[in-house]
């Protein structure tokens, strides 16, 4: 899914940073990567947002789980940057 692709792309970008990258550098990388994914997949993202209520419940549940995992990554990045 789009969330899965974006999540994985952001995760890979973060893993590619040097081990001594600061929390702010990690947050900046995540933001940039996320926005690039949105730009590159904007048609797909629009379609998903329009059709998400029309797919079977199991698919909606998986999509929600993916969104929650991605959200958890962002919460961690923001918390670390704030500290």
- Tokens at residue 48, please? 């998903």
Contact in structure between 23 and 77 (CB atoms under 8 Å): yes
Q: Of 20-24, 47-51, 60-64, where does mean pLDDT reach its minimum?
A: 47-51
What is this structure's pTM? 0.78
Binned at pLDDT 50, 70 and 90, residue 1 comes out as low
pLDDT tens, residue by residue, 58-67: 888 888 898 8
Residue position matching structure tokens 């698919």: 59
**Total Cβ atoms within 10 A of residue 81:** 15
Neighbours of 12 (CB within 10 A): 10
> Would the pLDDT of 76 be above 70?
yes
């Amino acid at each position: 899914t789009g969330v899965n692709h974006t999540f994985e792309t952001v995760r890979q970008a973060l893993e590619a940073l040097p081990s001594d990258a600061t929390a702010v550098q990690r947050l900046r990388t995540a933001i940039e990567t996320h926005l690039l994914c949105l730009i590159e997949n904007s048609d797909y993202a629009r379609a998903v947002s329009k059709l998400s209520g029309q797919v079977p419940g199991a698919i909606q549940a998986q999509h929600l789980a993916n969104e929650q995992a991605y959200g958890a990554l962002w919460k961690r990045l923001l918390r670390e940057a704030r500290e």
